Amino acid sequence: MKIIIVAVTMLLCNFVHAQGSTEQAVKKQYISTEIIKADNNEPVIEMGMFIKMHAQQLIDDSLIADTRDGLPMYTIVDSSLYSSGLLETFLQSRKGDSIIGIIPTDSLQYKSHIPLAQNAKFFKTTIKIEEVFKDENSYKKDYDTELELVKLNEEKEKNTKKISEEKIIADYLNKQNIKTVKTKNGVFVQIIKKGSGKPTVKGQKLKVKYTGKTFSGEAFDSNIDPKFGHPEPFEFTIGEGNTIPGWEEGMLLFNEGGKGTLYIPSNMAYWKQGAGEDIKPYENLIFDIEILPASIKKIISPLEKRK
């Protein structure tokens, strides 16, 4: 749990800290720091307590982060918060209070790391204190509860998205009159040539030629098209998790020498994270693939390793 607290402190420093080495220097950089008091009789926060909070961050009017999309933030109130300028503010606050800080982007210590900040004027952070814990055990229990809730919500979102994405892909294939085989996790596989070599199995090292495209037809990567500059076959071993799940599952429908196309829903590709500028969050992908002959890598069980 200490790792979580350290990460939170670093996040607050990265986004809230203005240039300057002391709390007073930080406060001078703020155009405004305001505590919006909740209408309650909660006790004032003290040193050594643990805070659960949500934070929202904007550059001018553009939202760049909101913890309500996932886990709350947790931190201990101690000297580690001194350099962020938040220690004194927390010690004046209570459960339910909101803290708003606005600074000019020119004062941001890490402005160069935030693209939207380059031409913006103000950086605004709003912190809502959701709960205060007197001891570490209470904080840990709450964190575990929140983490489990996030996992359940993500799984629910994934299942809902999976159904809608599979329908989108199926409709696309029907309109294009493309015949495919659907895997258990929703990858649609067009088998152009099964291949005359050995069947692909887990533990097998494959060499693959491919072109990756979005459903708009725009290629984002290829080792076939010379403009991407890496003509060597892509090598990976099925079952080791070194590529996206849609590849792992789709390749199992071919033999060595096989050719075809994989139509992969985002939950079996890069999901909500996306990948670089070309693959957006929740982007369904198409891969034209050809499996070249390769060798078998035997997966050794733990019992065999002991012999």
Domains of the chain, first to last = 2-134 (3.10.50.40), 164-292 (3.10.50.40)
- Count of other CB atoms within 10 angstroms of residue 168: 13
Cα–Cα distance measured from residue 222 to residue 231, given in angstroms and rounded to the nearest whole number: 8
Cite the beta strand spans of the chain per DSSP E.
32-36, 50-59, 62-66, 73-76, 98-104, 122-133, 181-182, 188-193, 205-214, 219-222, 234-237, 259-264, 285-292
Residue with the larger pLDDT of the pair 72 and 113: 72
User: pLDDT tens, 75-94?
Assistant: 999 988 876 678 888 999 99
HSE at residue 222, side-chain half, CA atoms within 13 A, is 15
- Residue 70 has a pLDDT of 85
Task: Classify residue 238 as exposed, middle or buried by CB count within 10 Å of its CB (0-12, 13-18, 19+).
Answer: buried
Is the distance from CB of 200 to CB of 256 less than 8 angstroms?
yes
- Lookup: tokens for 251: 């390749």
Share of the chain above pLDDT 90, in %: 56
Cα–Cα distance measured from residue 144 to residue 86, given in angstroms and rounded to the nearest whole number: 25
- Residue 28 has a pLDDT of 46
Is the distance from CB of 38 to CB of 45 less than 8 angstroms?
no
- Lookup: tokens for 56: 């929202």
Cite the beta strand spans of 116-204 per DSSP E.
122-133, 181-182, 188-193
Give pTM, 2 decimals. Answer: 0.57
pLDDT, mean of residues 38-47: 94
Cα–Cα distance measured from residue 120 to residue 104, given in angstroms and rounded to the nearest whole number: 9
Classify residue 143 as left (phi > 0), alpha (psi -120 to 50) or beta. alpha
Residue 80 dihedral angles phi and psi, to the nearest 5°: -65, -20
User: pLDDT tens, 246-304?
Assistant: 999 999 999 999 999 999 999 999 988 888 778 998 999 999 999 997 654 443 433 34
CA distances to 53, 67, 95 from 138, in Å: 15, 21, 15
Sorting pLDDT into bands at 50, 70 and 90, what band is 223? very high
User: pLDDT tens, 93-132?
Assistant: 999 999 998 888 776 544 444 555 566 778 888 999 999 9
User: pLDDT tens, 163-194?
Assistant: 899 999 999 999 999 999 999 999 999 999 99
Sorting pLDDT into bands at 50, 70 and 90, what band is 7? very low
Cα–Cα distance measured from residue 124 to residue 23, given in angstroms and rounded to the nearest whole number: 18
Write down the number of H helices and E strands in the chain.
Answer: 6, 13
CA 120 to chain centre: 25
Q: Which helix (H) or strand (E) holds 168?
A: helix 136-176
Contacts of range 296-305, beta carbons closer than 8 Å, 24 or more positions apart:
296/198, 296/201, 296/203, 296/204, 296/205, 297/203, 297/204, 297/205, 297/237, 298/203, 299/202, 299/203, 299/239
Residues in the chain, total: 307
Q: Is the pLDDT at 137 greater than 70, yes or no?
A: yes
Residue written as token pair 């004032």: 44
Cα–Cα distance measured from residue 94 to residue 285, given in angstroms and rounded to the nearest whole number: 48
Residues near 272 by beta carbon (within 8 Å), at least 6 away in sequence: 266, 281, 282
